[in-house]
Chains A and B, each alone.
Chain A
């Protein structure tokens, strides 16, 4: 089938912007060649998502004509995309992801919040949804509050879990009664019954049918937590996808049309290719990276409305995804302020700023989400806000990405005295191999150095960690493209999508400022030897080009640890990248920024200057 593909249009209809990329088969390989973008048009007066798609593709078409100096290239006839292709006119396939209109919004229910409730939440998140609320029998809210909440929320669908197979059915029945009493209605359109997926105790199926069958669009699937020790999220996730396409997408403005546009050649015939929720597509790609390279990966996608964090940890490659529904850089920017507080944002700003001016700037960005910072100061402020958005999204991810709670574990004698229990986070920054950033503020940062700075400051990687960004935010596109051509998706991913920024070396622990934290001896690819006893509280940036490695002997001092224990030396190969190797001795657990504002501005300027994050004009 790949031979039939020469030119593919892929779009991601985000809540703010519709991003289009063109993938072409050039000199024996698939490459991403041109991109275009336009505001998403799911709102009045246009109320039609395809308008934004046409606008983005039209921009791409004009740029392609300039790039190839060929005025005959045509991708759209003004009203629709041209598929299939004939010569320069049209494309062979069109695929799309979508999170416009707020994405897929779900509510989940379970019996025990930390067990079946959490499993249901994992299934919904893994399918690309935003979980508006988790309602459980034991969540301490009185029943009438739960009913009111269910009625108010108006989700796109509800996933009900509860009970292991063979267990008690009473609590599941009670939850069904609450849902029934609330008589919830779907968010979009009133012409259909709210879809409810039941994926709980098999013995309660008849009771659920009796209680809810008449009132809602009931779909029954396998129990997602058949026993305490196991999860079976696949069937529930598949049902969520089906309903997303059948009901939710049908209701969003223009999606009926868009769903017919997404086609590609399968076995010589043009077939429909399902639109995928954006986060599900990004999750696909993240898991592929981890599997292919057998590494632990942490990825983040910071959007206008939400921030998604994906992780693949432990040798078993446990995948987790969280959505921080109200942390983002445009629609939700004001909520970052509400969550983090003005002080925690200002602590990243290397110049004095009037608080009220900053507050108004944040609100103006919220009400005009598509504007971009023209002034350097505003860019610095937006990146300060981004660090806090990322930091909070990561905190939420760590709390969620845990081992199954309630499962019995066999323990060895060495574990008998440790604090480790089921429910511990599986996120371990010391063993993490790769940190990937995506989303406008990271992918479109004017300097790649700024991406490095934001990711290090927000995630505080420990030991040795490789850093990368999605070059122009195309992971969603590639996630859905993989559905029709894994070859095209992986080739573009390797060559055009991911940009390795370099590596971060950060010992864990703290010591007094000025004391030696890390002794390094690094042989750079050009043969130069970098040696330094780096004091605590410093940052160094060494050039090490993309595709090359440096040989390093790293000796943590003063009780710090780089992965092998306190003061234990390690020898390692450090990957280079477009930015280079960052040696960060500012400490971890804790990482501290001076409280005193004069001292804070001084160290921020020092760190930012060393990282080449901003022009000197703003650091003087």
Chain B
């Protein structure tokens, strides 16, 4: 077998990027096809339904469920304010009336004659969607959102936390294997996307939070530090919703791992440029990886979305090792034997032979490498 499929992360200096920016519920699209937008421009907005508050009217009135309708003073869809009378019994000779007032401001969603329950809904919550990248609106999905295209320098991370954020890229280390400490973060980092080398520790992240750094890009993070930072252990990798005032993107994984040279060099090349990034990660069911995007100047005729291709292992191809031993090392494939081979753990697997950049020759399970696209 001369080649085999192997998933990898995308790191590229120029790519036609296509981003769907979709509202969580139907709403209003604020731009039109052909518009040029900046990353932080609003493109769509909607109002999310407010919280539903069930209210047992039958109990409050002290009447059977099927009679509730006789005493209700409002109808479904009515706006109400907290304290408004929503139902009242007739009382005896006009006295001893039982009055029920609304516990919230909002609207009447539903009045049930079967259960005697009233559903009240709190006011709607506005949600706005930004463009996230500089680009051109190439498609409108009516009432739902837009599709934006541009040319971008693009880096996919392996894992991250925190939502979408923006800032200029600032490199804090000389080499991708270097690490920083909290003293390397100062006021000049405020609002920046800081590239930190092989590891950021807890104290450095805390300092970055204090200073107001937009995002930290790092080769690795220690799991203990992550747990301390979030206050809980991430059980299943669905992230991006953390509200910690900063986004963190790991390009390699957990532990002290040198950032891949091409990732580091690419970020370095764009130092000082505006970038968008997020830490949203979802490993299963609709995979999502963190992204760092530098929007480039482009002409519209340059936009052509390349057909997705699967990375393949080929002799001479560059690979990155993604598990111990030699985790993080880069090498070149020298052979792709077909037979199953026993590795140290006695597992019989399909392997490849490679020469690492430091000259060492290795045999490694094919499952433990990523293809580096060049």
Contact = CB atoms under 8 A, between A and B. Distances in A.
To the question of whether A and B form a pair in one complex, the answer is yes
A372 B254 contact: no
B286 A177 contact: no
A360 B327 CA distance: 12
B308 A44 contact: yes
A66 B119 CA distance: 68
A15 interface: yes
A262 interface: no
A55 B366 CA distance: 14
Contacts of B310: 41, 45-46, 51, 55
A15 B236 CA distance: 14
A369 B283 contact: yes
B145 to A, nearest CB: 12
Interface stretch (B106-114, B207-215, B267-275): B106-114
Nearest to B282: A43
Given A361-B324, A378-B324, A66 B345 contact: no
Contacts of A372: 323, 347, 349, 365, 367-368
Nearest to B369: A371
Interface in A384-407: none
Interface string A32-47: 0000001101111111
Given A55-B5, A364-B323, A334 B234 contact: yes
B233 interface: yes
Contacts of A370: 7, 367
Interface in B316-364: 322-325, 327, 338, 342-349, 364
Nearest to B284: A331
Interface centre among A55, A180, A362, A368 (most CB of B within 10 A): A368
A363 B253 contact: yes
Chain B interface size, under 10 / 10 to 19 / 20 to 34 / 35 or more: 35 or more
B345 A374 contact: yes
Nearest to A332: B236
B324 A374 contact: yes
B5 A367 contact: no
Interface stretch (B31-39, B46-54, B80-88, B129-137): B46-54
Interface stretch (A142-150, A223-231, A596-604): A142-150
Interface residues of A, number: 67
Contact of A367 (B112, B117, B281, B368): B281
A173 B346 contact: no
Interface in B143-181: 158-159
Contacts, number: 183
Nearest to B339: A66
Contacts of B223: 356, 359-360, 362-363
B222 interface: yes
A43 B344 contact: no
A376 B254 contact: no
A337 interface: yes
A58 to B, nearest CB: 9
Nearest to A331: B284
Contacts of A447: 346
Interface string B118-138: 010000000000000000000
A211 B233 CA distance: 41
List the 8 closest A-B pairs by CB distance, nearest first. Answer: A45-B308, A335-B235, A43-B287, A102-B285, A446-B346, A379-B345, A360-B254, A359-B223
Interface of A: 15, 38-39, 41-47, 51, 55, 59, 62, 66, 101-102, 143-144, 147-148, 169-170, 173-174, 177-178, 180-183, 207, 211, 305, 326, 331-332, 334-335, 337-339, 356-357, 359-364, 366-376, 378-379, 444, 446-447, 615
Given A360-B255, A367-B159, 12 more contacts: A38-B5, A41-B310, A62-B1, A101-B284, A147-B51, A177-B112, A367-B158, A369-B283, A370-B7, A375-B324, A376-B344, A378-B345
Interface of B: 1, 4-7, 49, 51-54, 65, 109-110, 112, 114-115, 117, 119, 158-159, 220, 222-224, 226, 233-237, 253-255, 281, 283-287, 308-310, 322-325, 327, 338, 342-349, 364-365, 367-368
